[in-house]
Copies of this chain bind each other. A is one copy, B any other.
Amino acid sequence: MLKLTEYRCFDGTVGFYSHQSETCHIEMRFAVYQPPQVKSQRVPVLYFLSGLTCSEENFITKAGAQRYAAEYGLMLVVPDTSPRNTGIAGEDEDWDLGTGAGFYVDATEVPWRSHYQMYSYVVRELPAIIAENFSVQSEKQGIFGHSMGGHGALVCALRNPNQYKSVSAFAPIVAPMCCPWGEKAFSHYLGTDRESWRTYDASELVLNANYQHPILIDQGTADKFLVEQLKPELFEQACTKANQPLNLRMQAGYDHSYYFIATFIEDHIRHHAAALLD
């Protein structure tokens, strides 16, 4: 693991790192915010998965999260959204497939499967690297994300309820099997057998997940992707069916941007702190 840059921030440090990923078979980058509490103790760790086109940097510079991570003593870890510079033909052609659009799945299809293993990277390889190199309580992990990363966070938590003690999302893709972004990505990464898609669809997974913790979702009503891509009502219906506690907040007038995320980041970090600091 190589430290690329480091900045003092809210009495802690923002750092950007690279490492050779055994899962994705390429160099991967991630960002970490270490709160001031790490000087004297191990702290819980909260993963943030970003949306389409983002890198490991957007959330750290725009969301205003460090203020609250410092207050509550949580480490923030932000992976990139896909492998990059893999040499796969067409990886940079579309903004919603390939580079910047890993969709947090383990690809099974050629040519993507050789590098696009973001699910295993986020759930297994990255937490091991964090545990080895940072002062964390590995048994206390939470996860959240935005849009494609909200989908990723929900999938990771619902498939690994013992690993992630808290989950939340901003404007998540909750039913990727039922929206153009998800159908495009899944058909390329996972192939045309839609049965295999269910393990990466939060609205399917929640039906049998037995996730014990309440889920927080914020969704702007002026989000231009709301009706065609995000469809929170599908996840709400599935949660009701599965008796999964869900706090879905429709936020009047807010869109899909980081201005929306910044507005509600305090609530989300408090939601995770309540679960991780008990």
Residues of chain A whose beta carbon lies under 8 Å from any beta carbon of chain B: 7-11, 14, 61-62, 64, 66-67, 220, 222, 253-255, 257-260, 262-263
Contacts and interface: CB of A to CB of B under 8 A. Distances in A.
Decide if the interface of chain A is mainly helix, strand, loop or mixed: mixed
B262 A64 contact: yes
A35 B143 CA distance: 31
A170 to B, nearest CB: 14
B64 A64 contact: yes
Nearest to A60: B259
Nearest to A220: B8
B7 A257 contact: yes
B8 A254 contact: yes
A85 to B, nearest CB: 26
A34 to B, nearest CB: 13
A200 to B, nearest CB: 31
What 10 A-B pairs have minimum CB-CB distances, sorted nearest first?
Answer: A9-B259, A64-B64, A7-B259, A8-B253, A8-B254, A10-B263, A61-B62, A7-B257, A14-B259, A9-B263
A273 B253 CA distance: 27
Contacts of A66: 259, 262
B62 A262 contact: no
Nearest to A61: B62
A8 B61 contact: no
Give the one of A8, A11, A62, A258 with max B CB within 10 A: A8
